[in-house]
Amino acid sequence: MGLQINKNFDDKLKEIEFYKNSETHQFMLPYVGSNYEEYRVLLVAESHYLGNEEDRKKVVDFQKWYEGKESISLSKPGHIKTREVVNAWFTDGNGLFKRIEKELESLKIDIKYFWERVSFMNFFYSSLNKWK
C-alpha cells in the first residue's frame, strides 16, 4: 500500500539552483502527494542525513557540495532520497510518521488520505558562519 507521487511539479522544481546543480541533489526533490493540489500543504523537516562516515567525508566542505555542479557517488544514497524515504516510512512505519499517524487517527483522518494531499521536504540547517 504505497503512495502515488505527483511529478507535475518536477520541471519547475528542477529550475531551482540547488536541484539543477547535480543528480545527487535531485535525490532530495520533495515528495508531493497525488492529490497535493487539493489543499497545497507543505511539511518541512530537517532530517536528511548521510548514513555512514565514508559518505559524510564526501560532503565535509558543505558549501562546496551544496553549490557544486558535480554529482557524488554515495554508498548509501537512500537516506537522502526524499520520495523513497517518505514511501518507506509510510509503508514500514517510522517515529516521525507514527507520531503524525497517531494524531491523525485521534482526529479520525485516514493516514493515506492525509499523505496523498501534502508535500514533504527536508532542508539543510547550517550556520552561515561556516560559509565565511
Summarised one tens digit per residue, pLDDT across range 51-102 is: 788 888 887 777 777 777 667 788 877 778 899 888 888 888 777 788 888 9
Residue 1: inside a domain: no
pLDDT for res 126: 54
Residue 39 pLDDT greater than 70, yes or no: yes
Provide the number of structural domains found in the chain: 1
Which residue has better confidence, 124 or 91?
A: 91
59 part of a folded domain: yes
Determine the Cα–Cα distance for residues 28 and 25; give it in Å rounded to an integer: 6
- 99: in domain: yes
Residue 5 forms part of a structural domain: no
Note whether residue 3 is domain-resident: no
Which of these, 76, 31, 72, lies nearest to 49 by C-alpha position? Answer: 76
Q: pTM of whole model > 0.85?
A: no
Residues 6+ apart with CB under 8 A from 118: 33, 36, 39, 41, 42, 43
- 4 assigned to some structural domain: no
Within a domain: 2: no
Q: What is the chain's mean pLDDT, rounded? A: 84
Domain range for 85 is 10-131
Rg (CA), the chain: 16
pLDDT (0 to 100) of residue 56: 81
User: CB-based burial of residue 1 (10 Å sphere; 0-12 exposed, 13-18 middle, 19+ buried)?
Assistant: exposed
> How do residues 2-16 score in pLDDT, each as one tens digit?
899 999 999 999 999
Taking the C-alpha atoms of residue 105 and residue 97, their distance in angstroms, rounded to an integer, is: 12
